[in-house]
Structure 1
Amino acid sequence: MNLSINLQVRQSQSLTMTPQLLQSIRLLQFHHVELLAFLQGEADGNPLLELVPPAEPAAPAPAEAPSAAPVGDPAPLSGWQDDGAAFSDGTGPEGERHPDAADRLLDLPRAASAGPAPDGASWEERLGEDLPSLHAHALSEIAEVFARADERRLAEVWLADLDASGFLFPDLDLPDEVLPLLRRLQDEAEPAGLFARSLEECLSIQLRRRDRLDPVMACVLANLPLLARRDFAALSRLTGESEGDLLEILAEIRSLDPRPGSAFSLAPPAAVVPDAVVTQDKGAPGGWTVALNPDAFPRLRIRAESGLASARGGEERAFLAQCRQSAGWLQRSLEGRARTILKVADEIVRRQGAFLRHGGGHLKPMTLMDVAEAVGMHESTISRVTAGKYLATPRGTMEMKAFFSGAIAASDGGEAHSAESVKLRIRTLVAAEAAGGVLSDDDIAARLGGEGIELARRTVAKYREALGIPSSVQRRREMKARRLAG
């Protein structure tokens, strides 16, 4: 075989990601805060760019530069009320150290979703509600507990280690001579459980004040994961108590407050800025109107070049030409980003109008591909558009991603059901169980089949576990124990 070097001419096509295209993709996936920080950095490095404050109307640009036109025709948020509940669960507050098992055990509420306020206040008003400061309250409790100034100064050092739940860091290194002071503060400070170093210690403090911290209760608290899994057989071996007694202990533990600091504010709440506002309009197609929220779309203004330098050399002119080109491209990218978000939001609202009117049980199955085909975009583009973007609707402010749900086939060949609506139906069936009528996963699957929802037993079990609902065996045992105790 002869090896030789030669030259060949070949014509081919390839897709190249230009810097401008990469910038447009990045802008598309930025949420409001990231976009604002990015534009501020661009304005700092480009003398022709100026970031327009939200309250300032955009002035006309000079003749030699394109104008910075505002995007969309947004509707104001005033008068919008949160009169419904969100259908997706949130996550625990930032910095929370409680394990998920303990959260399920104590039936702890999840973080703020778009549910209705008791007094009818809007979601934004609830986010801005002033709560007493946790540190200020803890400082007053320290002053009441300790009369000596040196003890107060020592206890005040612990304020920096309080988290949002009112707990001290578990690995806080405390000398032995300081532990009695901490124990005294824990026993006297209000609310009970403040300054605890773990969930177990927090619950122990509250039970000790009720004079209910006996050896059996202490053993149960030391094995909270077993109690969360409702492993009463293992707990019975450890404590020597019957299953009925353990259910009573579980009920008492559930009556405690696992987050004594949650009634106070550790830091100012961060309000979500919706990217689009959905309002009901009987005259619009589908009965809904979608408009961009101007507060979520920072605007740029291009300065006049004549005010930057009176005499320019070749390098200055080249630099300004590059800045002018970069500013124009960035402005066009922002306008394209706004149009894309509005188009996707409008398609989501068109498909989920029944949910906005009637609630979670009417959420229709919808995938990224469905929206991508409808708006003529790629599925990855829809994923970038919906990540971190929010819609302000009459049912609350919700992330666009929350409107997407997998499809479950209908047994009668009718319209498919969304996974979220099926989960809601499973929760409703379990909540309606009567004594002696506990439904197994097979029973639930059969009930759903009778309603036209084709679902396998293992899928029912998966959804039930995702909802934090115990198995039918555990629910039957608890029901029996409650009936015997009552």
Structure 2
Amino acid sequence: MALAPRLELRQGQSLVMTPQLQQAIKLLQLSNLELAEYVEQELERNPLLEASTGEPAAGPEERDGHEGEREQVLTSETSLSLSEDGPMPGRDGDLDTDYDNVYADESRSDTQNDAAATAPGPQGSDWQSVKGGGGGTSDGDFSFEATLTREPTLAEHLTEQMHTALKTAGDRLIGAYLIDQVNEAGYMTADIADVAERLGTDVEDVEAVLQVMQTFEPTGICARNLKECLSLQLAERDRLDPTMQVFLDHLELFAKRDFDQLMKLTGADREDIACMVDDIRLCDPKPGHAFGAEPVVPVVPDVFIRPRADGSWMVEINSETLPRVLVNQQYYAEVTKLSGDPGAKAYISECLNNANWLVKSLDQRARTILKVASEIVRQQDSFLVHGIQHLKPLNLKTIAEAISMHESTVSRVTANKYIATPRGIFEMKYFFTSSIASSSGGAAHSAEAVRHRIKELIDVERPDAVLSDDNIVDILKGQGVDIARRTVAKYREALNIPSSVQRRREKKAYA
């Protein structure tokens, strides 16, 4: 058969994802902070969107966008009793988005979908009049965050000390370059010879400047390695004697808890070794972390779980994490009525459609999170009642089949979401763990529960009876957990627990 170009018609089915549908998918996997930032951008881009500052309605109801001036997204807490059977509580007329059908074809990557969903738009502006003196706003609001200042960075802190300690311009030039080579932990990462060659100076000059900089605060800064960092801090406390110097020369033995070998090298007894270990533990191995640290942002749960009097669980969406967005229908009506430009009318109509879709997408996102969280609570009821030892093995497929959604939807919903339970705040992903078979043929055990059990066994072990990995395997098998030794070793290392040999050495040193 000869090869030749030809034209032919083919009929087939394919999934075409509109920008609005891609937006709804993107909203699912955003955390509450990312969602707030995304909505803020939409408020600037779309002139018909407004941020609601009022209290959320006690019982939101779906309203037609053309019947009122504004339409508000679902913001009130929605509760669901797991002891009751029936559909999810909510409003009539849910968003016409079938996420199960959407994710039936994953042929396009998230990057491609996100790029296709990004569309340029005009930047909206919101002017606020300022009245009175003292820079007060018209509504009298005062933002305390606006008065806060950031902490100085490590480079700024060192530069300030450098201008005082170094007198000549050449030394300051070398010092400025060395400060750029200090990492976040406070260690000098550059080689002295390379610095001298690059700056066209002698190694002795660079070494002299470095020695001056090593006297800066915090103590131990600009050290080239851990030994030098500890030496600087111990010398300041007058604890750097020859015995301690030998100890620092063999820090790898301290890491292995080989105190017997350290006693031979230093000539010190066990009590002196214990004192030196205490002195080293008072040092800061990363002095640079004290400067320019990012503020700690507390985790804000997306879902609350509270027990009911009848023993069931109440699942609530955290209304504080839901953006309150309004659609200004009055402004849309005025523009379409007064403007005779067809382009302006087309633009404002597109803004209205995008605004309505965003409101409905936010509403659907909240309902989907609530639906997934409710099923997780139903599956992990034993964990909520009895604790981590009763955490069940769970995967995305089980949740997806129970709520008639695709696994991709569940994966996106559980990403960067947190649940506040009576036992603490957990990421939704925490409840999805692999299973370990039971040696007695019963129900499988959760990997997280087994890790917790391993930690408990090691925490209560006696100094004269340190458990090896084989001993832990035997104990777990006696409790009905069919686990291999290499799995125990993997879980132990994930918990940052040293081997039995190192634990035995450490316990003997402090016995």
Specify if TM > 0.5.
yes
Moved more, 37-46 or 23-32: 37-46
Q: Which residue in the other structure is 1:167 paired with?
A: 186
Deviation at 1:394, TM superposition (A): 2.7
Residues 227 and 248 in structure 2, CA contact (< 8 A), matched pair in contact too: yes
Give the SS at the match of 2:349: helix
Give per-residue Cα distances to partners, 1:187-217, cap 9 Å, x unaligned. Answer: xx6xx55776764444223322343324564
Q: Are the counterparts in 2 of residues 133 and 266 from structure 1 also a CA contact under 8 Å? A: no
435, 456, 462: which is aligned to 1:434?
Answer: 462
Q: Gaps spanning 5+ residues in structure 1: where?
A: 76-127
The structure whose Rg is larger is 2
Aligned residues of 2:185 and 2:289 also touching (Cα < 8 A): yes
Partner of 1:63: 67
Aligned residue number for residue 271 of structure 1: 298
Match of 1:413 among 438, 441, 445: 441
After superposition, where does 1:298-313 map in structure 2 within 5 Å? Answer: 298-304=323-329, 305-308=332-335, 310-313=338-341
Does residue 48 (structure 1) correspond to residue 48 (structure 2)? The answer is yes
Equivalences for residues 94-173 of structure 1 within 5 A: 150-151=164-165, 167=186, 170-171=189-190
The answer for the alignment partner of 2:490 in structure 1 is: 462
Aligned counterpart in structure 2 of residue 399 of structure 1, from 409, 427, 445: 427
Aligned mates of 1:66, 1:441 — CA distance in 2: 64
> CA separation in 2, counterparts of 1:258 and 1:12?
64
| Matched residue, 1:254 | 281
Shift of 1:444: 0.8
Change (3 A) 1:281 1:194: farther
The CA RMSD over aligned residues, in Å, is 4.5
Match of 1:212 among 224, 239, 247: 239
CA contact (8 A) 1:354 1:363 kept: yes
Q: CA deviation at 1:343?
A: 0.8
* Alpha-carbon displacement from aligned partner over 1:225-263 (angstroms, at most 9, x marks no partner): 664355789x86995779969974556533544456778
CA–CA distance in 2 between the matches of 1:133 and 1:46? 33
Give the match for residue 347 of structure 2: 319
- 2:301–2:425 Cα contact (<8 Å) kept: yes
Equivalent position of 1:182 in the other structure: 213
> Counterpart amino acid of 1:295?
E
Out of 287, 309, 323, the residue aligned to residue 282 of structure 1 is: 309
The count of residues paired between Structure 1 and Structure 2 equals 417
- What is the alpha-carbon distance in structure 2 between the residues aligned to residue 312 and residue 231 of structure 1? 86
The structure-2 alpha-carbon separation of the partners of 1:13 and 1:267, relative to structure 1 and needing over 3 Å to count, comes to closer
CA contact (8 A) 1:406 1:419 kept: yes
Whether the 8 Å CA contact 2:214–2:220 is kept in 1: the answer is no
3-state SS, counterpart of residue 308 of structure 1: helix
Percent of pairs identical after alignment? 42
User: Separation in 2 of the partners of 1:194 and 1:358?
Assistant: 48
Q: Are the counterparts in 1 of residues 384 and 422 from structure 2 also a CA contact under 8 Å?
A: yes
Q: Would you say the 8 A contact 1:166–1:195 is kept in 2?
A: no
Change (3 A) 1:225 1:31: farther
Using the TM superposition, give the Cα deviation of residue 348 of structure 1 relative to its aligned residue in structure 2, in angstroms.
Answer: 1.7
Q: Does structure 2 retain, via aligned residues, the 8 Å contact 1:28–1:384?
A: yes
Aligned to 1:423: 451
Number of the residue aligned with 1:103 = none
Q: Deviations over 1:371-411 (max 9, x none)?
A: 22222111121111111111222333222112221111111
TM-score, normalised to structure 2, is: 0.67
1:109 matched residue in structure 2: none
CA contact (8 A) 1:49 1:302 kept: yes
Matched, 1:386 2:414: yes
**Paired residues of 2:303 and 2:373 also in contact (CA < 8 A):** yes
Does the alignment pair 1:343 with 2:347?
Answer: no
What is the Cα deviation at residue 416 of structure 1?
A: 1.8
